[in-house]
Structure formats: C-alpha cells, structure tokens
Amino acid sequence: METGSTCGSQASTAPASAEASYDGAGDSPGSAASASGFWATVINITKAFVGAASFALPKAFSDGGLVGASVGIVVLAFFSHFALSRLARCSHLVPGGSRPTYPAVGQAALGAVGRFLAWFGMLAMTLGVCGSYVVFMVTRLELVTGVGQDWGLCVVCVLVTLLSWLRSYRLLAYTSFFGILALVFALAVQCVDVSRQDFAPLAELEPFVRVDSYGKFLGNAGFLYLISTAILPLEQSMQEEVRPHFGKAMAFAMVPVTILNIVFAAFAYWGYGDCLHAPTQCVQGLVVDNLPPGTLTNVVNALLSVDLLFTCIVFLLPMSQLLEKELLDEARFGEWSVEIRRNVLRTLMVVGIAWVAKGVPVFDLLTGLSGGFGNNILGLILPPVFYVVLRWRHKASPAHTASHALELAACGVCFLFGLGFIALTLTTFVAQVSGR
C-alpha cells in the first residue's frame, strides 16, 4: 500500500539497478543477464508502492474526509501515473543513448538549472523520506523499550551511520523479502483488530470533505505514490523489447494498490473512529498505535522497525553514490583517504536526516511534509517540464501535431496540479505547526 517514496519500501526495487549502475558491480541495468520482463516489472513496481508508510494513511483519510480522501487517492494516482510515465520516457530522449540518472535528465533538459533542480528535489526527498523512517524507528523504540526519544534518536542514527558505510549492498537486497513478510504480518494483525471494533454510523464521519486539513492528506498520499527515485532504475532494468510498455506495467501495479489503499485506509479510519468527533478515542497518526498494548503489538513494532532500518539504508544508496561521483574523484575510489571522505559524506547525510527527524518528530506530519514537498517536486512538477523540453526538441510530424499539442496541455495541467499540491501542503503544515 505504499516508499519514495517509495513510499516504506519505495526504494527497495531501485538499489539493485543503482548498484550495478553506480558501483559497476554485476550486470548493468537492462543487460541480457539482469533485465526484467513485463510481469517482473509489474511486481517490482508493486513492491515500490508498498511499505510501512501505509500505516499513516487511515489518519490521512481523517484529514481529507472519507469522500475527499477516496476521490483524492484516485486523482493523485492518475496524475502520478501520467507524470512518472513521462519521467520514464525521458530516459529515451536524453542524447547519447545512455541510461541517464535524474540529474542527467535535468541537465539535458534545462542545463545547469535543471541539474540543480533535480539535485535539490533528490536531497529534499531523501532527507524527508529517511527522516520519516528514523522517526518511525525512534517512536517504536520508545514504545517497546521505554528509551527516551533523544537517546533513541542517537541509537538509531548510530546504526544508520554504520550501515551506510557499507560498500556492497547486495546482501541488503535479501531484506526486501523479509520486509514484505513483516508488512503482511503487520497488516494482518491490524485488519483483525479493526474488525473487532464497533463501527460508528457513517454520519459520525462527517464532513466527508475537509478543506482545512486536506493538504496534510495530500502530502501523505503523495508520499505513497510519488516514487520518482525508483522509476528510472525500474524502467532501465526492463528488457529492451518491453521498455515501451513501462506505462502499462505501472498501470497494472497502481490499480490494485490504489484499491487496496482505499479499502484499508477507509476500513481502519471508520473502525477506530474520527478524531473530529472523538479526539480521545480515534484513529492515530500511525495506525499501529491503535493496537492494544501487548507482546503481539511489540512484535509488530519491532518487525516494522527492522524493515525500515534496512529500507532507510537502501534508500540512501543512490543519493550517496551520486554525491560521491559528483564531489569526489571516482578513479581514486579505494584509496584510504578517499574512502574516509566517502564515509564522512555519508555521515553528514545521516546528520541531516537526524536534524529533520528531530525538527519534525511526528511520523504522519513528516511523511505529509515530505510527500508534499520533495516527493512532489521530483514526482509531479519536474517530470512534465523535463519531458516537454526534451520531447519538443524532436520535431513532430504533421500527423502527430494534434496529439502532441494535447500531451503538452496535459503536461501543463500536471505541472499546475503539482504547484497547487505543494502550496496546499505547505500551507496546511504551517497552520498546524503554528497551532491555528
């Protein structure tokens, strides 16, 4: 149900491609030995959409209203599919025929400005997404062990720092399967608990559309759907003959995920109750907090925390390696002085993540802010801009002029939707922080 994400696992499918691409280990993405077929790509995209951040979605439904959130999920899924499909197509429009990274796409489209915007979006998304994972782990550690949040933040960041120094992430690829099992187990426990609740009359969930807090809902939904950092590696890892069908593969993944997101979130929101009418007994920002205290709940929290620890490390991989290639001499990788600098750079990334987690220590609030800002910039705002610039450098034949004009208009609508998305999310965030 999620990632950025990848949304809790939204980056889990990217690292295999990223590792081959950046470290030179193994086959390059899309090679005959490692390329994915159509249905394998559908499965990988589905994995990128699912993760622990889905547990913030029931509260997001409370923020958006039952009808407003249900419709909003569908609309966001549509725009997300459109924008991310265009991002995937950019991979074929960059001159040189290589398999470009996001900054390379930005460079090809808008020069230094496009490269800067891509880097800015990637940094904002990485800090926001990983900061959300750290907040999740810190709050779970406090619940399970009683450790204070400041000490918990230190413990989590030490673990993240040490694991971020790893040079080979191949063993971490196997944690993806464990993460799926942990997520399925947690969802099963949650659904059983929801089924035991006394469902209130639907009238107690009114208003069904909540404008004042709708931006927070959009941010959390964007965190789930705008998995931009996974798109290029996923598309580039496909077999050449099926790469043109990436948009169809994404649709096959998004439709069932969207249905399950709506069903799970609405079911849990309705079962646990609405905070507007019963603030002392209602759906929590992280719905696992609605589970009764006990050993089973502790197991759920522990499993999800371990999953997110490795997901956080995996999510840092593409950003860390791109930064190292940008700032350091790749030819000198392996020299002890350069390796120390690489560790320092990765440690500074963790310090930035810790700063974000300390500044916004509420999981659903941080996922909403990240989804509405970093994920939105990379997932909704930049892709149509980069695509339009790159696409219109290829002159259209007269027979295709009308369809290209229609696509241009659609890209404009998507871009404006992204701008409205970010404005509404940030306005809602500022209002909530200021207590208005």
Where residue 242 sits, what CATH number does that domain have? 1.20.1740.10
CB atoms within 10 A of CB 298: 15
Contact of 169 with 15, CB cutoff 8 Å:
yes
Contact of 323 with 298, CB cutoff 8 Å:
no
Q: Per the structure block, which two tokens stand in for 385?
A: 């801009």
Residue 194, pLDDT score: 96
Residue 89 forms part of a structural domain: yes
The end-to-end CA distance of the chain, in Å, is 31
Residue 295 forms part of a structural domain: yes
Residue whose tokens read 């995996």: 314
Residue 285, pLDDT score: 92
Residue 4 forms part of a structural domain: no
C-alpha separations of 63 from 81, 155, 289, 307 in Å: 24, 32, 17, 27
Q: Cα–Cα–Cα angle for 286, 287, 293, nearest 5°? A: 105
Residue 10, pLDDT score: 45
Residue 22 forms part of a structural domain: yes
Instruction: Give dist(CA 146, CA 139) in Å, integer.
Output: 10
Q: Give the closest residue to 353 by CA, choosing from 52, 121, 134.
A: 134
Contact of 286 with 55, CB cutoff 8 Å:
yes
Question: How many CA atoms does the CB half-sphere of 368 hold within 13 Å?
Answer: 32
Q: Give the closest residue to 382 by CA, choosing from 346, 419, 407.
A: 419
Instruction: Give dist(CA 90, CA 116) in Å, integer.
Output: 17
Instruction: Give dist(CA 307, CA 3) in Å, integer.
Output: 12
Residue 9 forms part of a structural domain: no
Residue 87, pLDDT score: 95
CB atoms within 10 A of CB 139: 21
Provide the number of structural domains found in the chain: 1
pTM: 0.85
Q: Per the structure block, which two tokens stand in for 130?
A: 């990983």
Instruction: Give dist(CA 60, CA 57) in Å, integer.
Output: 5
231 - beta bridge partners? none
Residue 405, pLDDT score: 85
CA 106 vs. chain centroid, Å, equals 20
Residue 3 forms part of a structural domain: no
Beta strands (DSSP E) in 24-161 are none
Contact of 216 with 422, CB cutoff 8 Å:
no
**Omega of the bond leading into 207 within 30 degrees of 0 (cis):** yes
Question: How many CA atoms does the CB half-sphere of 426 hold within 13 Å?
Answer: 10
Residue 2 forms part of a structural domain: no
CA 70 vs. chain centroid, Å, equals 19
Number of H helices, E strands in the chain: 16, 0
Each residue's pLDDT tens digit in the chain (436 positions)?
A: 444 434 444 444 443 343 333 333 334 444 555 678 899 888 888 877 877 778 999 999 999 999 999 999 999 999 999 999 999 999 899 987 678 989 999 999 999 999 999 999 999 999 999 999 999 999 999 999 999 999 999 999 999 999 999 876 666 666 777 888 898 999 999 999 999 999 988 988 999 999 999 999 999 999 999 888 888 888 988 988 999 999 999 999 999 999 999 999 999 999 999 988 877 789 999 999 999 999 999 999 999 999 899 888 878 877 888 888 889 888 888 899 999 999 999 999 999 999 999 999 999 999 999 999 999 999 999 999 999 999 887 765 555 677 788 899 999 999 999 999 999 999 998 887 776 5
Instruction: Give dist(CA 305, CA 47) in Å, integer.
Output: 18
Determine the length of the chain: 436
Residue 207 forms part of a structural domain: yes
C-alpha separations of 433 from 136, 195, 421, 422 in Å: 19, 34, 18, 16
Q: Give the closest residue to 414 by CA, choosing from 83, 137, 110, 150.
A: 83
339 - beta bridge partners? none
* Long-range own/partner contacts, residues 16-20 (CB < 8 A, 24 or more apart): 16/173, 16/233, 16/237, 17/233, 17/234, 17/236, 17/237, 18/233, 18/317, 18/318, 18/321, 19/168, 19/169, 19/170, 19/317
Domain span at residue 345 reads 14-434
Instruction: Give dist(CA 183, CA 270) in Å, integer.
Output: 21
